[in-house]
Each structure stands twice: as structure tokens, then as C-alpha cells.
Amino acid sequence: MMKSIHLEKPGSAENLSLIDTEIPVPKEDEVLIRVHAAGVNRPDILQREGLYPPPTDASPVLGLEVAGEVVVCGKQARSLQVGDKVCALVNGGGYAEYAVAPHSQCIPIPKNYSYEQAAAIPETFFTVWHNLFQRAKLTAGKTLLIHSGASGIGTTAIQLASVFGAKVYATASTPEKCEAISRLGAEAICYTDEDFVAAIKKRTHGQGVNIILDVVGGDNVQKNFSVAALEGRIVNIAFLNGSKMNLDLMPLMLKRLTLTGSTLRSQSSSIKAKIADELLQHVWPLLNQEKIKPVIDSIYSLSDVVKAHQRMESNLHIGKIILIP
């Protein structure tokens, strides 16, 4: 048996509790990981609220990323051995003492990293790499606007884009968050003090930005059209302010913009495996050399999962929130 987080019914964080459950059994292409740390992500909040149901074949337990030690290998998980220390993108079940993961979604923990640091990597790094580099084709010399720059996604995107040679702008809601993202390499815009549309137009001399990564949605969608440069690409990966709005799509045609988006969890294991391979090739050397590193806001015990979710919902956090069994 193991400890895991149980969601009694969709709703508030208070509906989460720590219970005893059976240890999961890995499939032939999976490994069983003794979890030493797990990341908390926005999709966990949505799933808790009943707005982001897990795939039918996934664990109902919350949690999309873990770091720990491999304790059982399925017959087809030949790339790993018992005792390997890995961080993994899981299809659910991360808020527990043990979790299963496809072996192709497990990556060795970077050199000198703690389990807590390693658990802050998979969900955000997979998401950012897929959306900025695979979908939006970010390259050196491009200009990028990141909304919610102090989030786990934002702090990851700022660092990756900067180290690969992009000019990065990022929005945030407080001076403290702006100071934090400035230290990471972005030119910060406090959207509670100034309109980000005017700020971007002024700072780019009216040219706009090549790529926009948006987790906010709502009114931002129309505004993103205004600040996108000709042939710009806009990637929506969440809609914190809503996914339904009235839009004038004329700028989409006149500027020849690309508006796209994705969710990571529903994609095939082969796509996730490709992302993992590219991360190992292009990003892991940077993590090992400490040229980039995940930003950790706070660490909670698994029994304090309610507080961890409340911390995320407060929108005061900067970087990742971590749980430890």
C-alpha cells in the first residue's frame, strides 16, 4: 500500500485528502517510480474542479510530473534499470508515494539536482519546448512575448528562449514578479501599471513581436493580434481568463498571423517521446551546466496538498510549487 491524494468530489482544494491506496502496477512499456517529489500545475487545479478530466486510461490521482527512483521496470522498458534516478512526465498519479510512467517519458535527473528541483522540470519543459520550439519555430533573433511570466511556464519559457538567442518580453502583475522575471532575462511589463499593447509597440518601435505565448486568453486574444508582427505566431496553451470571446479576425488576415495551441496530456506517447528526446539533446546539457534551472516557489508535504493548491490559486507564486511525500 501507499499514500496518495484522493479527490472526494470536484470542487475546492478542501476536497483533497491523503489516503491509503494500492501501489500501481506498471504496464510492459512503463516503470514504477518511488516518488521523492512531484510538481503542482494548473491542469491539476482544473482537474480538481472537474474541468479537465483525465484520459480514460490514466490514473484518477492528480499529478503530471514526478522525480524519484525506478523500482520496477516493465518488460519493454529496456532503456531504464531499477535504481535509476529520473524525472518523468506522467499521465496522472503523481501525487503519491509511487507512480507509473512510460519509460519514453523518463529522463535522467540533471547533474547535482535535488529531487525537488528535478520534479519542477517535466511538465513545464515539455510544454514550453513543444509549443515554442516545435510549434512556433522559435529561433535566435526572434522577439517573444510571454504572458504570466512569473508562472512555472513563464519562468521556464523566459530562460529557454533567452539562452537560445531570442529577445524576450514578459508580463506580470506585481513589481516583485517583474523583478524576478527581469533577473531571468526578460524585459518585464507590469500590466497592472501599463497597457502591454502600448508597451510592446513602444519597445519594438511599432514592429510588434514575432511570437506570443499566452496562458491567459480572454481579452488578451484580441490584444495579441495588435502586438504581433507580420507573419507572427500566437500560441495559446491555457485560458485563465476564459476561452470564449468576441473577436475581430481581420488582423489575422492582414498580418498573415498563425494562431495555434495545444494541450500536452492528450497527445500520443510517440509525440511525448520525441519531445523527451529533443530535451535530452538540446536542453539537458544546459541544465547540467546550470545555464538554466527551474525556479521553485515553495515546497509542501503531500499531507499539505490543500495549502499547495491554495498557494497556486492565490497567484502570488513565482515559479513552481512542489510536493514531497
**Looking at 242, 261, 280, which one is the last position of a domain?**
261
Shared-domain flag, residues 275 and 236? no
Would you place residue 140 in the very low, low, confident or very high pLDDT band (cuts 50, 70, 90)?
very high
Q: pLDDT tens digit string along 150-194?
A: 999 999 999 999 999 999 999 999 999 999 999 999 999 999 999
Shared-domain flag, residues 97 and 130? no
Global pTM reads: 0.96
Shared-domain flag, residues 39 and 130? no
Is pLDDT at 53 greater than 90 in this prediction? no
Task: Give the Å distances, CA to CA, from 46 to 52, 173, 243, 261.
Answer: 5, 22, 14, 18
* Residue 144 neighbours by CB under 8 Å, 6+ apart: 132, 138, 157, 161, 166, 167, 168, 169, 209, 210, 211, 212, 213
Shared-domain flag, residues 305 and 212? no
| pLDDT for res 32 | 98
Q: How many domains does the chain have?
A: 2
The three three-digit cell numbers of residue 82, written as one number? 531499477
More confident residue, 266 or 24: 24
Segment 11-28 shows an average pLDDT of: 98
Which residue range(s) make up the domain with 17? 2-121+265-324
d(CA 73, CA 32) in angstroms, rounded, equals 7
**Looking at 210, 226, 261, which one is the last position of a domain?**
261
Segment 239-245 shows an average pLDDT of: 94
d(CA 308, CA 48) in angstroms, rounded, equals 13
Shared-domain flag, residues 187 and 292? no
| pLDDT for res 78 | 85
Shared-domain flag, residues 107 and 144? no
| pLDDT for res 272 | 97
Shared-domain flag, residues 166 and 192? yes
**Looking at 261, 281, 296, which one is the last position of a domain?**
261
Alpha carbon dihedral 86, 87, 89, 91, in 10-degree steps, equals 70
Shared-domain flag, residues 154 and 87? no
Shared-domain flag, residues 156 and 131? yes
Would you place residue 56 in the very low, low, confident or very high pLDDT band (cuts 50, 70, 90)?
confident
Q: Specify the CATH number for the domain of residue 218.
A: 3.90.180.10
| pLDDT for res 24 | 97
Q: pLDDT tens digit string along 66-90?
A: 999 999 999 999 889 999 999 999 9
Shared-domain flag, residues 204 and 314? no
Please say whether the beta carbons of 64 and 45 come within 8 A.
no
Is pLDDT at 55 greater than 90 in this prediction? no
Would you place residue 216 in the very low, low, confident or very high pLDDT band (cuts 50, 70, 90)?
very high
Shared-domain flag, residues 165 and 151? yes
Q: Which residue has the cell 500560441?
A: 235
Shared-domain flag, residues 134 and 68? no
- What does pLDDT average to over the chain? 97
